[in-house]
Amino acid sequence: MRKSKSISIQLATEGFLDELSVGKQPYTVKSYEVSLRRFQKFLESGRAISSDSATNKLTVDHAIDFGKSLQGLAPATIRNYLAAISEFYRYLFARRLVDVDMADHQRLFSSLKQMRPRSFNLPRVPTDEMIDALIKAVSAKEDPKQKQARGDRDRAELRRFRDIALLLSLKSSGMRLGEVIGLKRSDLDYRNKSAIVTGKGRKQRIVYFDDAAWNALKEYLETRKDGSRSRSLSYLPVFARHDRRSGNQLLPLSRQSVEQLFVRLAKKSNLDPKPTPHWFRHWFATQILERTQDLAALQDMLGHESPVTTRVYAKVSTKRLRQVHRVAFGGRNVNEDD
């Protein structure tokens, strides 16, 4: 076994996060950063290993003990912390920044895998009425009596067109929020009313839009008049900011802006529980499954790596179960529509 190199844990962490930013979404990088910060605090507490200590002081048992210390946290949080520490140690191993033999290497990943919570909470799928309420709320025009400067009125109308297109796109495509705000104009396929999206792990897939979403997208983009700008259209974001601070620049819409939009829509529509962008993905998945019963196609549409992740929607897609129950207790035909 070759001798390991010696750099500080802090430098190794920075190098890992820097490399991670090339292949992961920004929010994933931020999540891993938070996880590794907790790992550093764990090392400092009773183990006399600081962020300035050399990486060759780290052992497999440090990572395993850290995983054990997470018991009691929410399953999603545990999964995130374990994923971060696992990827960090892979990084250390690949660069020979720690001393470890093959047996310890296998023991580490086997232990972390066993600690990963297996249970999945059923997603909260919104009703058709909830989705319709959000679309209605986002489509409503602002009070015409409200006095605004011409520029502010134009920006407000652009935001309305954008937000309508955004929600209808989420509804008809099943995209994650990070995927939809990462779209560029070159990703759109006008012939097939589709787009190429880049999902988790930088994996690409094709998503499709219904007529309502596609028409809203075209109306929004035509209203923007991007052709009057010198920058190539292909590199422009599909969903952009339209506020005073962005000025004449076409900057991509941020997750925070969308989250703020949903806070406003929650107040307008009086929905409880509070709506989130992921509502549309859950709604989309159950619609596809109830109408086609095709789990394999749904897995491709959602960009799930494992069919196990997709199968959770089979548990909340209750139309078939309701029909069977009615045959048993209500005498209705199993193929009879609701």
Point out the catalytic residue in the list 185, 218, 278, 311.
278
Specify whether 68 is located in the same domain as 160: no
What pLDDT shows up at residue 1?
Answer: 46
Question: How is the beta sheet containing 194-198 ordered, strand by strand?
Answer: 188-189, 194-198, 204-208
Specify whether 172 is located in the same domain as 252: yes
Percent of the chain with pLDDT over 70: 89
255 is an active site residue: no
User: Residue 277: pLDDT above 80?
Assistant: yes
Point out the catalytic residue in the list 24, 159, 171, 281.
281
What pLDDT shows up at residue 48?
Answer: 81
What pLDDT shows up at residue 151?
Answer: 64
The answer as to whether 298 is a domain residue is no
User: Residue 230: pLDDT above 70?
Assistant: no
Which has the closest alpha carbon to 190: 240, 238, 122, 120?
A: 238
User: Residue 247: pLDDT above 60?
Assistant: yes
Within its chain, how far is the Cα of 174 from the centroid?
11
Asked if 235 and 252 touch (Cβ cutoff 8 Å), the reply is: no
Domains in the chain: how many in total?
Answer: 2
The answer as to whether 259 is a domain residue is yes
Q: Give the amino acid at 175.
A: M
Point out the catalytic residue in the list 24, 159, 171, 176.
176
313 is an active site residue: yes
The span from the CA of 240 to the CA of 155, in Å, is 11
Mean pLDDT of the chain, nearest integer: 87
Point out the catalytic residue in the list 32, 81, 220, 313.
313
Specify whether 276 is located in the same domain as 138: yes
200 is an active site residue: yes
* Domain interval for residue 169: 128-290
The span from the CA of 108 to the CA of 228, in Å, is 56
The answer as to whether 321 is a domain residue is no
The span from the CA of 267 to the CA of 129, in Å, is 16
Final residue before a domain boundary, out of 69, 90, 115: 115
What pLDDT shows up at residue 121?
Answer: 67
User: Residue 312: pLDDT above 90?
Assistant: no
185-219: per-residue pLDDT in tens? 999 999 999 999 998 878 899 999 999 999 999 99
How many Cα atoms occupy the beta-carbon half-sphere of 219 within 13 Å? 18
Specify whether 138 is located in the same domain as 108: no
In the structure, what pLDDT confidence band is assigned to residue 279 with cuts at 50, 70 and 90? very high
The answer as to whether 101 is a domain residue is yes
Q: What is the rounded average pLDDT of the residues 149-156?
A: 77
Overall pTM surpassing 0.75 (yes/no): no
Q: What is the rounded average pLDDT of the residues 174-193?
A: 95
Point out the catalytic residue in the list 153, 200, 311, 332.
200
20-56: per-residue pLDDT in tens? 888 677 888 889 999 999 999 999 987 789 999 999 9
The answer as to whether 300 is a domain residue is no
DSSP class per residue in 79-114? HHHHHHHHHHHHHHHHTT-S---HHHHHHHHHHHHH
316-325: per-residue pLDDT in tens? 777 666 777 7
The answer as to whether 254 is a domain residue is yes
What pLDDT shows up at residue 335?
Answer: 53
Residues 61, 63, 69, 71, CA torsion sign: negative
User: Residue 172: pLDDT above 90?
Assistant: yes
Which has the closest alpha carbon to 87: 36, 27, 49?
A: 36
Percent of the chain with pLDDT over 90: 58
Specify whether 138 is located in the same domain as 193: yes
User: Residue 18: pLDDT above 80?
Assistant: yes
Point out the catalytic residue in the list 159, 160, 241, 304.
304
Specify whether 258 is located in the same domain as 214: yes
Q: What is the rounded average pLDDT of the residues 92-111?
A: 90
What pLDDT shows up at residue 316?
Answer: 79
278 is an active site residue: yes
Specify whether 109 is located in the same domain as 143: no
Token pair, residue 221, equals: 């983009």
Q: What CATH number does residue 145 fall under?
A: 1.10.443.10
124 is an active site residue: no
Specify whether 138 is located in the same domain as 255: yes
325 is an active site residue: no
Q: What is the rounded average pLDDT of the residues 235-254?
A: 89
